[in-house]
Amino acid sequence: MSRKLIFNVFKYNPLDKDDRPKLKTYEMDETDGMTVFVALNYIRDRLDHTLQFDFVCRAGICGSCSMVINGTPKLACKTLTSDYKDGEITLLPLPVFELIGDLSINTAKWMNDMSKDVASWIHTNEQTIIDNIELPMEPEVADEVFELDRCIECGCCIAACGTKQMRPRFKGAVALNKVARFLADPRDDRTHADMFELIGDDEGIFGCMSLLGCDDTCPKDLPLQSKLAYLRRKMVSQT
Protein backbone atom coordinates (compact mmCIF):
# COMPACT_ATOMS: atom_id res chain seq x y z
CA MET A 1 0.00 0.00 0.00
CA SER A 2 1.35 3.45 -0.88
CA ARG A 3 2.01 5.95 1.90
CA LYS A 4 0.57 9.42 2.24
CA LEU A 5 2.80 12.39 1.45
CA ILE A 6 2.35 15.84 2.93
CA PHE A 7 3.70 18.81 0.99
CA ASN A 8 4.06 22.22 2.63
CA VAL A 9 4.48 24.60 -0.29
CA PHE A 10 5.39 28.30 -0.27
CA LYS A 11 2.64 30.41 -1.81
CA TYR A 12 2.95 34.11 -2.52
CA ASN A 13 2.10 36.43 -5.38
CA PRO A 14 4.38 39.49 -5.11
CA LEU A 15 2.19 41.34 -7.64
CA ASP A 16 -0.86 41.15 -5.35
CA LYS A 17 -0.48 43.83 -2.67
CA ASP A 18 -3.03 42.06 -0.43
CA ASP A 19 -1.25 38.70 -0.54
CA ARG A 20 1.10 37.53 2.24
CA PRO A 21 3.73 34.73 2.10
CA LYS A 22 2.39 31.47 3.56
CA LEU A 23 2.84 27.70 3.46
CA LYS A 24 -0.06 25.74 1.97
CA THR A 25 -0.42 22.03 2.73
CA TYR A 26 -1.37 19.39 0.16
CA GLU A 27 -1.75 15.63 0.63
CA MET A 28 -1.43 12.84 -1.91
CA ASP A 29 -0.61 9.14 -2.28
CA GLU A 30 3.01 8.41 -3.20
CA THR A 31 3.56 6.47 -6.44
CA ASP A 32 6.55 4.32 -7.45
CA GLY A 33 9.60 6.37 -8.46
CA MET A 34 7.78 9.63 -7.71
CA THR A 35 9.86 12.80 -7.95
CA VAL A 36 9.07 16.16 -6.35
CA PHE A 37 8.44 17.41 -9.89
CA VAL A 38 5.78 14.70 -10.48
CA ALA A 39 4.16 15.59 -7.15
CA LEU A 40 4.06 19.28 -8.10
CA ASN A 41 2.34 18.43 -11.36
CA TYR A 42 -0.20 16.36 -9.42
CA ILE A 43 -0.87 19.33 -7.14
CA ARG A 44 -1.29 21.69 -10.07
CA ASP A 45 -3.48 19.27 -12.07
CA ARG A 46 -5.70 18.00 -9.23
CA LEU A 47 -5.44 20.19 -6.14
CA ASP A 48 -4.43 23.78 -6.95
CA HIS A 49 -4.40 25.15 -10.50
CA THR A 50 -2.80 28.39 -9.30
CA LEU A 51 0.49 26.85 -8.12
CA GLN A 52 3.48 28.37 -9.92
CA PHE A 53 6.74 26.47 -10.48
CA ASP A 54 9.18 26.14 -13.38
CA PHE A 55 10.33 23.22 -15.49
CA VAL A 56 11.37 22.52 -19.09
CA CYS A 57 13.34 19.30 -19.51
CA ARG A 58 12.27 17.03 -16.60
CA ALA A 59 15.71 15.42 -16.89
CA GLY A 60 18.18 17.55 -14.89
CA ILE A 61 19.38 19.41 -17.97
CA CYS A 62 17.65 22.81 -18.14
CA GLY A 63 18.17 23.95 -14.52
CA SER A 64 14.64 25.44 -14.29
CA CYS A 65 13.15 23.38 -11.46
CA SER A 66 15.61 24.32 -8.71
CA MET A 67 14.01 25.02 -5.32
CA VAL A 68 14.72 24.53 -1.62
CA ILE A 69 13.55 21.01 -0.68
CA ASN A 70 13.47 20.37 3.07
CA GLY A 71 16.15 23.01 3.54
CA THR A 72 18.52 22.10 0.70
CA PRO A 73 18.68 23.61 -2.82
CA LYS A 74 17.92 20.82 -5.32
CA LEU A 75 16.35 20.07 -8.69
CA ALA A 76 12.72 18.95 -8.25
CA CYS A 77 12.91 16.65 -11.27
CA LYS A 78 15.91 14.75 -9.86
CA THR A 79 14.67 14.44 -6.27
CA LEU A 80 12.78 11.31 -5.26
CA THR A 81 10.02 11.63 -2.65
CA SER A 82 11.19 8.28 -1.25
CA ASP A 83 14.34 10.06 0.03
CA TYR A 84 12.16 11.69 2.70
CA LYS A 85 11.38 8.92 5.16
CA ASP A 86 8.73 10.69 7.23
CA GLY A 87 6.79 11.62 4.07
CA GLU A 88 6.67 15.35 4.85
CA ILE A 89 8.30 17.68 2.32
CA THR A 90 8.57 21.47 2.53
CA LEU A 91 9.21 23.44 -0.66
CA LEU A 92 10.48 27.03 -0.80
CA PRO A 93 11.72 29.14 -3.73
CA LEU A 94 15.49 29.62 -4.00
CA PRO A 95 16.59 32.74 -2.10
CA VAL A 96 18.67 35.51 -3.74
CA PHE A 97 16.79 35.41 -7.06
CA GLU A 98 13.78 37.59 -7.96
CA LEU A 99 10.53 35.86 -6.98
CA ILE A 100 7.99 35.56 -9.79
CA GLY A 101 5.41 33.73 -7.65
CA ASP A 102 5.21 30.68 -5.34
CA LEU A 103 8.19 28.46 -6.33
CA SER A 104 8.93 30.28 -9.60
CA ILE A 105 12.03 32.51 -9.64
CA ASN A 106 13.82 34.57 -12.28
CA THR A 107 17.28 32.99 -12.54
CA ALA A 108 17.70 34.13 -16.16
CA LYS A 109 18.13 37.82 -15.31
CA TRP A 110 20.70 37.07 -12.59
CA MET A 111 22.63 34.62 -14.79
CA ASN A 112 22.65 37.08 -17.70
CA ASP A 113 24.11 39.84 -15.49
CA MET A 114 26.65 37.37 -14.05
CA SER A 115 27.74 36.32 -17.56
CA LYS A 116 28.38 39.95 -18.46
CA ASP A 117 30.21 40.53 -15.16
CA VAL A 118 32.80 37.85 -15.90
CA ALA A 119 32.62 38.25 -19.71
CA SER A 120 31.89 34.56 -20.16
CA TRP A 121 32.65 34.16 -23.81
CA ILE A 122 35.81 33.42 -25.82
CA HIS A 123 38.07 36.47 -26.13
CA THR A 124 40.48 36.24 -29.06
CA ASN A 125 42.10 38.45 -31.66
CA GLU A 126 42.03 35.56 -34.17
CA GLN A 127 39.64 36.24 -37.02
CA THR A 128 36.99 33.54 -37.38
CA ILE A 129 36.79 32.15 -40.92
CA ILE A 130 33.86 29.77 -41.01
CA ASP A 131 35.15 27.89 -44.08
CA ASN A 132 38.26 26.77 -42.18
CA ILE A 133 38.28 23.33 -40.57
CA GLU A 134 37.93 23.24 -36.80
CA LEU A 135 41.12 23.75 -34.80
CA PRO A 136 42.24 20.56 -33.05
CA MET A 137 42.26 20.51 -29.23
CA GLU A 138 44.12 18.02 -27.05
CA PRO A 139 41.59 15.47 -25.70
CA GLU A 140 42.51 16.12 -22.06
CA VAL A 141 42.04 19.89 -22.58
CA ALA A 142 38.71 19.33 -24.34
CA ASP A 143 37.65 17.07 -21.44
CA GLU A 144 38.46 19.74 -18.88
CA VAL A 145 36.58 22.45 -20.76
CA PHE A 146 33.60 20.12 -21.26
CA GLU A 147 33.59 19.17 -17.59
CA LEU A 148 33.28 22.81 -16.49
CA ASP A 149 30.82 23.61 -19.29
CA ARG A 150 28.28 21.15 -17.81
CA CYS A 151 26.92 23.90 -15.53
CA ILE A 152 23.15 24.23 -16.12
CA GLU A 153 22.86 27.62 -14.33
CA CYS A 154 20.31 26.22 -11.89
CA GLY A 155 21.35 28.61 -9.10
CA CYS A 156 21.63 25.94 -6.37
CA CYS A 157 25.24 26.95 -5.59
CA ILE A 158 24.17 30.58 -5.21
CA ALA A 159 21.26 29.71 -2.90
CA ALA A 160 23.57 27.54 -0.77
CA CYS A 161 26.30 30.19 -0.45
CA GLY A 162 26.58 31.94 2.92
CA THR A 163 28.78 34.66 1.46
CA LYS A 164 26.14 35.48 -1.13
CA GLN A 165 23.55 36.00 1.63
CA MET A 166 25.85 38.50 3.38
CA ARG A 167 27.46 40.18 0.40
CA PRO A 168 24.89 40.80 -2.36
CA ARG A 169 27.47 41.57 -5.06
CA PHE A 170 29.49 38.38 -4.47
CA LYS A 171 29.75 36.61 -7.83
CA GLY A 172 29.39 33.08 -6.47
CA ALA A 173 30.59 29.68 -7.57
CA VAL A 174 28.72 29.66 -10.88
CA ALA A 175 30.64 32.76 -12.03
CA LEU A 176 33.97 31.56 -10.67
CA ASN A 177 33.47 28.23 -12.42
CA LYS A 178 32.98 30.10 -15.70
CA VAL A 179 36.27 31.96 -15.19
CA ALA A 180 38.02 28.61 -14.63
CA ARG A 181 36.35 27.26 -17.77
CA PHE A 182 37.67 30.09 -19.98
CA LEU A 183 41.13 29.95 -18.40
CA ALA A 184 41.25 26.26 -19.38
CA ASP A 185 40.21 27.01 -22.97
CA PRO A 186 43.24 27.58 -25.26
CA ARG A 187 41.04 29.53 -27.70
CA ASP A 188 40.63 32.30 -25.10
CA ASP A 189 43.57 34.74 -25.11
CA ARG A 190 42.88 36.14 -21.62
CA THR A 191 45.66 35.78 -19.05
CA HIS A 192 45.54 35.27 -15.30
CA ALA A 193 46.16 39.02 -14.95
CA ASP A 194 43.08 39.73 -17.11
CA MET A 195 40.99 37.41 -14.94
CA PHE A 196 42.34 39.09 -11.81
CA GLU A 197 40.65 42.28 -13.01
CA LEU A 198 37.34 40.39 -13.00
CA ILE A 199 37.53 38.32 -9.80
CA GLY A 200 40.53 39.53 -7.77
CA ASP A 201 38.51 41.14 -4.94
CA ASP A 202 35.95 40.41 -2.21
CA GLU A 203 33.15 40.22 -4.76
CA GLY A 204 35.15 37.50 -6.50
CA ILE A 205 37.48 34.74 -5.33
CA PHE A 206 38.76 36.56 -2.22
CA GLY A 207 35.22 36.86 -0.83
CA CYS A 208 34.74 33.08 -0.91
CA MET A 209 34.88 31.59 2.62
CA SER A 210 35.58 28.05 1.33
CA LEU A 211 32.74 26.47 3.33
CA LEU A 212 31.73 24.65 0.14
CA GLY A 213 27.94 24.81 0.33
CA CYS A 214 28.21 25.20 -3.44
CA ASP A 215 30.17 21.98 -3.88
CA ASP A 216 27.77 20.09 -1.58
CA THR A 217 24.65 21.14 -3.49
CA CYS A 218 25.69 21.32 -7.17
CA PRO A 219 23.36 18.80 -8.87
CA LYS A 220 25.83 18.31 -11.73
CA ASP A 221 28.73 17.50 -9.38
CA LEU A 222 30.98 20.11 -10.93
CA PRO A 223 34.45 20.16 -9.33
CA LEU A 224 33.77 23.47 -7.58
CA GLN A 225 36.00 22.74 -4.58
CA SER A 226 39.12 22.13 -6.67
CA LYS A 227 38.38 24.98 -9.10
CA LEU A 228 37.84 27.53 -6.32
CA ALA A 229 41.13 26.46 -4.73
CA TYR A 230 42.87 26.66 -8.14
CA LEU A 231 41.54 30.17 -8.80
CA ARG A 232 42.53 31.34 -5.32
CA ARG A 233 46.13 30.13 -5.88
CA LYS A 234 46.35 31.73 -9.32
CA MET A 235 44.81 35.03 -8.26
CA VAL A 236 47.01 35.29 -5.12
CA SER A 237 50.03 34.98 -7.41
CA GLN A 238 48.81 38.12 -9.25
CA THR A 239 48.87 40.27 -6.09
Which residues are at the interface with ligand SF4 (CB under 6 A)? 151-157, 160-163, 172-174, 177, 208-214, 218, 220, 222, 228
Shortest Å distance, C-beta 153 to ligand SF4: 5
Show the binding pattern over residues 48-87: x = contacts ligand FES (CB under 6 A), - = does not: -------xxxx-xxxxxx---------x-x----------
Contacts of 130 (CB under 8 A, 6+ apart): none
- Minimum CB separation from ligand SF4 for residue 176, in Å? 7
CA 102-163-61 angle, 5° bins: 50
CB of 151 to ligand FES, least distance (A): 12
With CB under 5 to 8 Å by kind, the binding choice for 156 among ligand SF4, ligand FES, none is: ligand SF4
CB of residue 75 vs ligand SF4: minimum separation in angstroms?
Answer: 9
Closest CB to ligand FES among 57 and 193? 57
User: What does 153 interact with, of ligand SF4, ligand FES, none (CB < 5 to 8 A by kind)?
Assistant: ligand SF4
CA 161 to CA 209: how far, in whole Å?
9
Q: How far apart are CA 214 and CA 107, in angstroms?
A: 16
| CA dihedral (80, 94, 171, 115) positive or negative | positive
Minimum Å gap between C-beta 154 and ligand FES is 7
Q: Judged by CB, which is closer to ligand SF4: 23, or 211?
A: 211
Instruction: Select 60 or 95, whichever has its Cβ closest to ligand FES.
Output: 60
- Give CA–CA dist 195/233, Å, rounded: 13
Around Cβ 122, how many Cβ atoms within 10 Å? 13
Cβ neighbour number for residue 115 with a 10 Å cutoff? 15
Q: Which residues of this protein are in contact with ligand FES, per CB under 6 A?
A: 55-58, 60-65, 75, 77
